[in-house]
Homo-oligomer: A and B are copies of this chain.
Amino acid sequence: MSTQPAPARAVVIYSGGMDSFTVLHQALAEGYDVYPVSFHYGQRHAKELECARAVCESLKLKHQVIDLRSITPLIDNSALTGDIEVPQGDYAPDNLATTVVPNRNMIMLSLAVGYAVNIEAGICFYGAHGGDHVIYPDCRPEFVEAMNSVSQIANLQPVKIHAPFLLDDKASILRRGLDLGLDYSQTWTCYQGEAKACGQCSACRERLGAFAACHITDPIAYQA
C-alpha cells in the first residue's frame, strides 16, 4: 500500500469576480492545495469580496482577506479607489483610463508571492486574461513573464507566476468554467457597489457580452 504525497500548495489571487473564480476552480481541478487571498484596496465594488468569502467557506478553503486600504494615499488617482466617477459604457481604452489602479497587479502579486514563500507554495495563480491587454498593462503576457522572472530570484524559494487564461478572452474563460460545472451566481463583477449589478458600467457590459457569446443567461440580478 503506497501513501499519496501531500498535494502541492498554490496561492490564488481571488477577487470574487468571474475570472478569478474560474482560476480558483482551475487550480483545484489541477489538484493543488489552494490558498486563496483577496485584497480590499478601497475598490467601490467590495461586494466581490463577500462573494469570495462565501465561496471559500463553502469549499472549506483557508481564505486570507487582506485590507490594503492603508495604501490608498499612494494610489488614489483612480476611479476604483479615489473620488473620480466610474465611467459608463463600453470596455474601451479611453473610457477606462480612470479605472486603472496604479501598479495594482504588481502590488497584489508581490504580496501573493510573499504569502507563497511563507507557506512554501511554489506557484501563484492569477486571473489576467486577453480581454484586458489593451487597457491594463499589468495584464499583458510580457508583464506576467517579467513578474515570473523576478519571483524566481526575489527569495531563496522561487515562486512561479501563472495566469492560466492569459491568452483567452472572457467568453473562453466562462466556457471553461461552465465545462467545470461552475455556478456563476457565486460571482460579482459590477464596478458600482449597489445591491444589483448596474448592467451599464464597462465591467457589466463585458460580463454580459461573455454570457451572450456562450448563449446562456447570466444568473445574477441586474437593475431594470
A residues sitting closer than 8 Å to B (CB atoms) are 37, 64, 66-68, 70-71, 73-77, 100-107, 109-111, 113-115, 117-118, 137-138, 140, 142-143, 146-147, 149-151, 153-156
Q: Using A100-B156, A106-B113, A107-B107 as known contacts, list a sample of 15 further A-B pairs with CB atoms less than 8 Å apart, ordered by residue number in A.
A: A68-B70, A68-B71, A71-B111, A75-B114, A77-B118, A101-B114, A102-B114, A103-B117, A103-B154, A107-B114, A137-B156, A138-B155, A146-B146, A146-B149, A147-B150
Residues of B within 8 A of A75 (CB): 114-115, 117-118
Contact A113 B118 (CB under 8 A): no
Contact B118 A138 (CB under 8 A): no
Tell me the dominant secondary structure on chain A's binding face: helix
Q: Can you report 19 residue pairs joining A to B where beta carbons are below 8 Å apart?
A: A66-B70, A68-B71, A74-B114, A76-B118, A100-B155, A102-B114, A102-B155, A104-B114, A106-B150, A106-B154, A107-B107, A107-B110, A107-B114, A143-B150, A143-B154, A146-B146, A146-B150, A146-B153, A146-B154
Q: How far is the CB of A120 from chain B (nearest CB, A)?
A: 9
> Of all chain B residues, which has the CB nearest A76?
B118
Q: How far is the CB of A84 from chain B (nearest CB, A)?
A: 12
* A71 and B62 alpha carbons, distance in the complex (Å): 15
Q: How far is the CB of A149 from chain B (nearest CB, A)?
A: 5
* A64 and B149 alpha carbons, distance in the complex (Å): 29
Cβ-neighbour of A103 out of B71, B101, B140, B155 (below 8 A): B155
Q: How far is the CB of A210 from chain B (nearest CB, A)?
A: 26
* A107 and B79 alpha carbons, distance in the complex (Å): 23
Q: How far is the CB of A71 from chain B (nearest CB, A)?
A: 6
